[in-house]
Amino acid sequence: MQALLREKYRGVKIDAVVAVEMAALDFAERFGDVLWPGAAIVFHSVPARSVAARTLGPRTVGVPVRYDFGATLELALRLRSDARRIVVVAGTTDFDRGLLRLARAALDGRSAGRPVEYLVDLPLADTLAAVRNLPSDAIVLYLAMFQDGAGARHVPRNVITQLAAASRAPVFGVFETYLRDGIAAGVIASFSVQGRRAGELVARVLNGERPGGLGAEAPVAPACIADWRQLERWGIDERLLPGGCEVRFKELAAWDRYRWQILGALAIILGQATLIGSLLVQRQRRQRAELAVERHRVELAHAGRLATMGELTASIAHEVNQPLGAILANVDAADMLLEAGDARPGEVRQILADIRKDDLRASEVIRRLRELLTRHEMTREPLDANETVSEVLRLLAAEARRRGVELVEAFDATLPQILGDRVHLQQVLLNLVVNGMDAMAKTSPHLRRVLVRTSLRPDGDVEFTVSDRGQGIDLEHLPKLFGSFYTTKERGMGLGLSIARSIVEAHGGRIWAEAGGEGGATFRFTLPAAPRPAPAEQAA
């Protein structure tokens, strides 16, 4: 070692040498003059007793340490008051045996009658086996093991890890490096404190203070340090520790560690829950409001139909009267034939067939009237657009005749079906056609004509167009037309177009007016085509 160091530091002036532990201090004091002439020797981690027992050289200065096995045993007994035996584990090097001597002296008289067992001269494997078989009411005091009883070399810090893992009883010790996965607690002189104080001495020496004037410092006092995870493992209550004992490796509960994050998350969750709650309430209210609106629309539409039909009473009466009159005439004719006594069965049957036909016609008119006059929830069914328009025109035929208006239909025969409510859609058409007829009051009689056209739009929707040759619409009135209560008629209510718009929009369509076309006004509305049935249904 001497030769190596001499070679290594040849030609280098050394001012201070730091000696760690007793063996290093011995070496430095013995060979320092040769290896590092004039250098100060600064030691630490040397037990105070050993320092006291020797005479330090003139250039030696340092920080002794106190290993307190007595206090460590007291701490162990405090944490394990029910312990019945004490086991001491140590190795066989001089250092190991030096600690053993210190420990023996300290334990003397402190074990309070408990047997003390020394596991010293065993191979490491046997030592581990021995602690594995300990009863749990034991205390293990681990000193150091640089070499085991079989002569195998070890690093004491690695031995404690195995020992602690194997042991059935908690292990205690005095070195800071044994903490973490090792000893449960100990009265420990911190290595970092020793190192810092030795460093301060080195600085003073380098700054020119004479080491001889400094002498040995006061020893570093040990203090209680515990490993929280080991306390947990052995079920040792942390509150048993003496006041001021430092607890390391404590796993903070999630709450301690993330208090603000948790509170923040809770606040956000709470906020969201409130928001979601209020949105749900709002949605419920909206649904209720929508239902109410739907109900009002149905009622309004019904009122609108009643009003329109009211306008048509004259022609409707005529519609019903005509077949009734024909029936009466046929009955009279049959009567006359029977009276004359030459009623041939064929003739009578013909008359009866005519009566049946007129009766059916009258009841058909009444059925349609009843449909339009009763209140009616909106339904959705596939409808033939042209057929739907035709029915309306048939219903209005008598009225048109009465007003001298020609109703003309121009149908696209290839239209797809639409999805909707027949009565409500017919109400829209009824309104548009009657409005058209109303608008032609001043048109000269031979020109009065309403054209109703159906067609397919490029976007696939079905379009209905109603054009007349009336007075037309002023451009400035276009925006107001579909609003409620806009009317220019003496006895109008101004509701027809607004109801028509709400019906068309409820069907997913659009309605608007244009000036021009047939010379008067043109109203158009569109409805989406019904989705095509799936191929299977088509085949069925």
- Chain residues in the site for ligand ADP (CB under 6 A): 431, 435-436, 439, 468, 470-471, 473, 481, 486-489, 492-498, 520-521
Q: Which is nearer to ligand ADP, 98 or 470 (CB)?
A: 470
Q: Which is nearer to ligand ADP, 172 or 464 (CB)?
A: 464
CA–CA distance, 517 with 514 (Å, rounded to integer)? 8
DSSP-derived 3-state class of residue 461: coil
Distance in Å, CB of 500 to ligand ADP, minimum? 7
The gap between the terminal CA atoms of the chain, to the nearest Å, is: 104
Distance in Å, CB of 489 to ligand ADP, minimum? 4
Distance in Å, CB of 301 to ligand ADP, minimum? 13
Q: Which is nearer to ligand ADP, 141 or 481 (CB)?
A: 481
Q: Which is nearer to ligand ADP, 230 or 308 (CB)?
A: 308
Distance in Å, CB of 482 to ligand ADP, minimum? 7
Distance in Å, CB of 408 to ligand ADP, minimum? 15
Q: Which is nearer to ligand ADP, 420 or 496 (CB)?
A: 496
Structure tokens at 75: 């701490």
Distance in Å, CB of 516 to ligand ADP, minimum? 11
Distance in Å, CB of 495 to ligand ADP, minimum? 6
What are the DSSP calls for 209-275, one per residue? --GGGT-BPPPBPPEEEEEHHHHHHHT--GGGSPTT-EEES----HHHHSHHHHHHHHHHHHHHHHH
CA–CA distance, 229 with 252 (Å, rounded to integer)? 11
Q: Which is nearer to ligand ADP, 494 or 528 (CB)?
A: 494
Q: 73 with 126: CB under 8 angstroms?
A: no
Percentages (nearest 5) of helix, strand, coil residues in the chain: 50, 15, 30
CA–CA distance, 84 with 530 (Å, rounded to integer)? 92
Distance in Å, CB of 415 to ligand ADP, minimum? 24
Distance in Å, CB of 300 to ligand ADP, minimum? 12
CA–CA distance, 182 with 162 (Å, rounded to integer)? 8
Q: Which is nearer to ligand ADP, 106 or 440 (CB)?
A: 440
455, burial (CB in 10 Å: exposed 0-12, middle 13-18, buried 19+): middle
Q: Which is nearer to ligand ADP, 417 or 484 (CB)?
A: 484
Q: 75 with 51: CB under 8 angstroms?
A: no
CA–CA distance, 183 with 141 (Å, rounded to integer)? 9
Distance in Å, CB of 289 to ligand ADP, minimum? 25
User: CA dihedral in degrees (275, 280, 286, 291; nearest 10)?
Assistant: 180
Q: Which residues contact 24 (CB under 8 A, 6 or more apart)?
A: 43
Q: Which is nearer to ligand ADP, 229 or 297 (CB)?
A: 297
Within 446-522, where are the H helices? 496-506
Q: Which is nearer to ligand ADP, 486 or 512 (CB)?
A: 486
Beta-ladder partners of 63: 44
Q: Which is nearer to ligand ADP, 351 or 405 (CB)?
A: 405
Distance in Å, CB of 404 to ligand ADP, minimum? 17
Q: 379 with 421: CB under 8 angstroms?
A: yes
CA–CA distance, 436 with 466 (Å, rounded to integer)? 8
Q: Which is nearer to ligand ADP, 183 or 473 (CB)?
A: 473
For the chain, how many helices (H) and strands (E)?
17, 17
Beta-ladder partners of 465: 453, 524
Distance in Å, CB of 373 to ligand ADP, minimum? 18
Q: Which is nearer to ligand ADP, 184 or 439 (CB)?
A: 439
Beta-ladder partners of 512: 524
Distance in Å, CB of 451 to ligand ADP, minimum? 12
CA–CA distance, 210 with 199 (Å, rounded to integer)? 16
Q: Which residue is nearest to ligand ADP (CB)?
A: 496
Structure tokens at 408: 């003309």
Phi-psi bin for 404: left (phi > 0), alpha (psi -120 to 50), beta? left
